[in-house]
Structure 1
């Protein structure tokens, strides 16, 4: 399989501190001491510092290109995606299609549908 980048994603760092900040805010809403405001500011500062101190991604940290064997293995691991989608809950499929920015255009004249997906956000 392809190599996995070594440094934690910015989203992981942000999520960790955002959880802490949310707990502090909840405590404040529940009547905790106003000193909690200082804790929130400190957690925000630590989050920003952690994000700023992350080294820039180096070319050597990039994911190695996948070989034909890697791709075949990945497809085998995923199984029959078409069957899974067919059996999936319609609301779950709607969320998936929206996240992929799937757009279907129906032509009454030819009785066909054209599917278009914007993968830009997923690359």
Structure 2
């Protein structure tokens, strides 16, 4: 009998992407907070590790870099796309909204109070593909 694990919406979305591009490698970037700048994360976060443990995906490669949050940057640039000259006040409003939207996130990213002061994070990139569970 086949056992079907319960998966979160995020895990299902990753699995769908892997199945959609079956036979191809899918690239995923995700960010985690820096708790120790000298020790990059060595394990996958639980939402990815569960997919690996259930043999639903196979990770082909993994790279870890540190740098300013791409999630924050993308959100900020989208927020001020229609502004001719973004101001410090616009930054403050965006920052408040950005923090408030993360209320259910496991790790809350808090951009700096200074203009375009993004949080330093571990940026992890994995390449993976769907597997056929046994």
TM-score of Structure 1 vs Structure 2, range by shorter chain: under 0.3
* Bigger share in strand: 2
Per the normalisation by structure 2, the TM-score is 0.23
Is the helix fraction higher in 1 or 2? Answer: 1
